[in-house]
């Protein structure tokens, strides 16, 4: 089990990897965004079907598919804008880690559990994109809302399961293109 201990001045609790659970479901159109705020450290973890971000889940073959990967990487390289983290929080991106297809150099996109390379098998393959962002925020108390541009950036995305953990507790909301914003304590 992938858990980590979150210790705060008020309490200590285990945060288990709910994103990994969501990843197991792998439903096209449905992504998960996990936000953990602790002191000045804010971590965002996006878990999305590759289909939603690049339009396919197999090895990139065409120029168009390579371009889709590059485009997605560019959009995902601006998480403050993409997820609408408040400017007054003063968050600075320290580190970005890609897992899954977008972590591969362009041209080496590989879907999970491959082994055969014919088109028939590809129909049953799926791949998730996981991106983890680590921020240091001068005013983390302002990280109490977001106004996500995720749906505008990725038109195949239909819902974003927002899960927030702060010193004040936990919060969940399902964001959609019609309601891409949320606020919490």
User: Please, which residue, 53 or 137, has the CB nearer to Zn ion?
Assistant: 53
Question: Residue 61: CB partners within 8 Å, gap ≥ 6?
Answer: none
Instruction: Of 72, 4, 81, 74, give the one whose Cα is nearest residue 41.
Output: 4
CA distance 112 to 122: 10
Question: How many residues touch Zn ion (CB under 5 A)?
Answer: 4
Residues 111 to 140 in contact with Zn ion, rule: CB under 5 A: 126
Question: Residue 90: CB partners within 8 Å, gap ≥ 6?
Answer: 137, 138, 139, 142
Does 66 participate in binding Zn ion (rule CB under 5 A)?
Answer: no
Q: Cβ of residue 50: shortest distance to Zn ion, in angstroms?
A: 7
Q: By Cβ distance, which residue is nearest to Zn ion?
A: 126
Piece in contact with Zn ion (CB under 5 A), picked from 53-61, 78-86, 110-118, 144-152: 53-61
Piece in contact with Zn ion (CB under 5 A), picked from 47-55, 95-103, 131-139, 170-178: 47-55
CB 172 within 8 A of CB 162: yes
User: Please, which residue, 56 or 150, has the CB nearer to Zn ion?
Assistant: 56
Residues that bind Zn ion (CB under 5 A): 49, 51, 57, 126
């Amino acid at each position: 089990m992938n858990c980590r201990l979150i210790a705060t001045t008020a309490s200590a609790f285990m945060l288990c990897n709910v994103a990994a659970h969501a990843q197991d479901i792998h439903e096209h159109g449905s992504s998960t965004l996990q936000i953990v705020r602790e002191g000045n450290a804010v971590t965002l973890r996006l878990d999305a079907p590759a289909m939603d971000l690049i339009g396919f889940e197999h090895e990139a073959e065409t120029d168009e598919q390579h371009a889709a990967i590059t485009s997605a990487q560019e959009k995902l390289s601006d998480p403050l804008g993409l997820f609408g983290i408040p400017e007054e929080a003063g968050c600075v991106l320290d580190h970005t880690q890609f897992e899954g297809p977008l972590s591969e150099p362009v041209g080496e996109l590989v879907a999970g559990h491959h082994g055969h390379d014919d088109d028939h098998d590809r129909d049953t393959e799926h791949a998730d994109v996981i991106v983890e962002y680590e921020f240091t925020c001068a005013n983390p108390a302002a990280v109490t809302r977001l106004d996500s541009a995720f749906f505008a950036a990725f038109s195949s995305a239909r819902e974003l399961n927002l899960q927030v953990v702060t010193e004040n507790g936990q919060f969940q909301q399902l964001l959609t293109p019609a309601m891409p914003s949320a606020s919490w304590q």
